[in-house]
């Protein structure tokens, strides 16, 4: 199917883009990679009257670390940029694990991390990863910029807290309180598919103690799930087989899976538990692992 008729604008500055969004109100949509928006328009699940394509705006395609380790990902940084990033490979294990698991190379070449957060698909991988890392989104509108924690940015399936005249200009990952570890595991029916179940784990450890933990779940609820109780159970103590089992159980309890053609709710919950154990066990001391 073809999309319904729309006006297309490709401004060259953020100011111009925000003016266009203000003019278009609820009928305007930002387009970044177009990898979720265009399919929705072709199916006519979305019929915006105005598309504001931000691809001609310079200086949004970066990802870089500040001196204190804060990671900033611009609105036009593609999944493929993150997949090939030495910075992520060296400093962000959870993000580095997730990047190659998103869709296929064609989608990764165009789609953006920030666009994925804005799209708020319960099966979107980046929202779980950024939630586990305690990240936030920087929104810019006519009245300036504001920072929104991702856990509060995604409010439901395909819903976020942006105003119609705001653009998400950047995602921000705070610096680690210690050594960062963790990863992302995704159960998919075939390579390139959306997650049947995805689990993001982010740990920050110092002197053998977990300083901060984040666990978030993909595809097992109406939106991305922050498994806060599971993460909190790990903080402030050394990682042990028992604490891992407890966190995995709490994460499984936080999941809200539904039985569908991909598997039963019980199977998906079991996979959450399994993935949490698998990811956290990588950080166990060898003696503890052997026990």
Ligand X SMILES: Cc1cc2nc3c(=O)[nH]c(=O)nc-3n(C[C@H](O)[C@H](O)[C@H](O)COP(=O)(O)OP(=O)(O)OC[C@H]3O[C@@H](n4cnc5c(N)ncnc54)[C@H](O)[C@@H]3O)c2cc1C
Residues at the site binding ligand X, with contacts judged by CB under 6 A: 29-37, 39, 75, 102-103, 107, 111-112, 114-116, 118-119, 121, 124-126, 162, 167-168, 194
Interatomic CA distance for residues 116 and 127, integer angstroms: 7
Strand partners, 167: 140
> Minimum Å distance from CB 198 to ligand X?
8
Closest residue to ligand X, judged by C-beta, is 111
Closest distance of CB 125 from ligand X, Å: 4
Both tokens assigned to 277? 């154990």
Minimum Å gap between C-beta 14 and ligand X is 10
Q: How big, in percent rounded to 5, are the helix, strand and coil portions of the chain?
A: 35, 25, 35
- From the number of C-beta atoms within 10 Å of its C-beta (0-12, 13-18, 19+), residue 174 rates as middle
**CB of 82 or CB of 248, closer to ligand X:** 82
Toward ligand X, which CB reaches closer, 89 or 110?
Answer: 110
Q: How far is the CB of 65 from ligand X (least distance, A)?
A: 21
Q: Are 234 and 209 a contacting pair, CB within 8 Å? A: no
The distance of closest approach from Cβ of residue 57 to ligand X in the complex, given in angstroms and rounded to an integer, is 10
- Residue 188 is encoded by which pair of tokens? 């998919």
Taking the complex as a whole, the smallest distance from the CB of residue 114 to ligand X amounts, in Å, to 5
Between residues 11 and 34, which has the closer beta carbon with respect to ligand X?
34
Which residue lies nearer to ligand X by CB, 157 or 236?
Answer: 157
Which helix H or strand E contains 245, and what residues bound it? Answer: helix 241-254
d(CA 82, CA 100): 9
Nearer to ligand X (CB atom), residue 194 or residue 275? 194
How far apart, in whole angstroms, are the C-alpha atoms of residue 127 and residue 123?
9
Quick one: 104 or 266, whose CB is closer to ligand X? 104
Task: Give, in order, the Cα–Cα distances in Å from 107 to each of 79, 84, 99, 196.
Answer: 8, 15, 12, 19
């Amino acid at each position: 199917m073809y999309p319904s008729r729309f006006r297309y604008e490709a401004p060259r500055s953020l100011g111009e883009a925000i003016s266009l969004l203000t003019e278009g109100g609820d009928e305007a949509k930002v387009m970044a990679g177009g990898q979720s928006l265009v399919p929705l328009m072709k199916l006519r699940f979305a019929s915006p009257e105005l598309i504001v394509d931000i691809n001609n705006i310079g200086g949004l395609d970066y990802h870089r670390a500040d001196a204190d380790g804060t990671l900033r990902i611009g609105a036009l940084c593609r999944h493929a940029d993150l997949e090939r990033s030495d910075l992520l490979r060296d400093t962000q294990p959870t993000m580095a694990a997730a990047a190659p698991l998103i869709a296929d190379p064609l989608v990764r070449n165009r789609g953006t991390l920030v666009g994925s957060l804005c799209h708020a698909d319960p099966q979107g991988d980046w929202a779980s990863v950024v939630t586990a890392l305690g990240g936030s989104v920087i929104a810019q509108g006519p009245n300036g910029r504001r920072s929104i924690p991702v856990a509060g940015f995604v409010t439901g399936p395909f819903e976020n807290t942006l105003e119609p005249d705001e653009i998400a200009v950047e995602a921000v990952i705070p610096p680690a309180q210690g050594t960062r570890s963790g990863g992302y595991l995704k159960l998919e029916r075939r390579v390139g598919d959306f997650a049947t179940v995805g689990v993001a784990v982010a740990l920050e450890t110092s002197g053998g103690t977990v300083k901060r933990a984040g666990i978030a779940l993909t595809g097992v609820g109406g939106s991305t799930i922050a498994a806060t109780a599971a993460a909190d159970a790990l903080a402030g103590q050394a990682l042990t087989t028992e604490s891992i089992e407890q966190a995995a159980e709490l994460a499984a309890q936080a999941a809200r899976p539904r039985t569908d053609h991909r598997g039963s709710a019980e199977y998906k919950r079991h996979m959450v538990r399994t993935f949490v154990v698998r990811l956290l066990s990588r950080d166990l001391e060898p003696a503890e692992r052997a026990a």
